[in-house]
Amino acid sequence: MIELSDDPFIAFAAWMAEAEQSEPSDPNAMTLATCTAGGRPSARIVLLKEWDARGFVFYTNLESRKSNEIAENPHVALLFHWKSRLRQIRIEGEVTAVSDAQADAYFAGRPRHSRIGAWASAQSRPLADRATFEADFAAAFARFPEETTPRPPFWSGWRVTPSHFEFWQDQEFRLHDRITFSLTASGWQKGRLYP
């Protein structure tokens, strides 16, 4: 049986720290599930770049499919799955944009090629062939020859402010342990679920 802090953010910090010690790559990888206003879901892997008690932040093109769906329906779900630790954390919440200052600060710290790639990619839109993208990248590289590349106006971050957590730990014979945290008017309510 697992025991967790009564604060889901402290519990998350503990599990993330352990995942960072054991996961072979990208322990900050999380599935992001979005949904259109009409109820059509989609999911993809994104990387958690920042987090604190206000929520979980990832960055992307604001004209991408995920951003368009967030604009239609700000309710999303996140899933961290750490196979080496036989654990997962599900998070449900609402998305808001990060500040321009926060996005600028994060973007400035990215490798130069990643910053240029943000300018070159029309993320989620049709691409005729790889050569077209490579030409777009070369054009953006020539446009911004200096080390300092500004953040594109169509690129920023989203913060998921959680209202629900579920911590899942694999147990023998599929008698898994599931601990939930639901946000109420008086704070986080902790509970358990049958596996």
Q: What is the DSSP letter of 84?
A: G
Q: Of residues 44, 174, 178, 192, which has the active-site annotation?
A: 174
Residue 174 known to be catalytic: yes
End-to-end Cα distance, the chain: 12
> Helix, strand, or coil here: 166?
strand
Instruction: Provide the pairing of β-strand 177-184 with 155-169.
Output: antiparallel
> Per the structure block, which two tokens stand in for 13?
């910090």
Catalytic positions, please?
Answer: 174
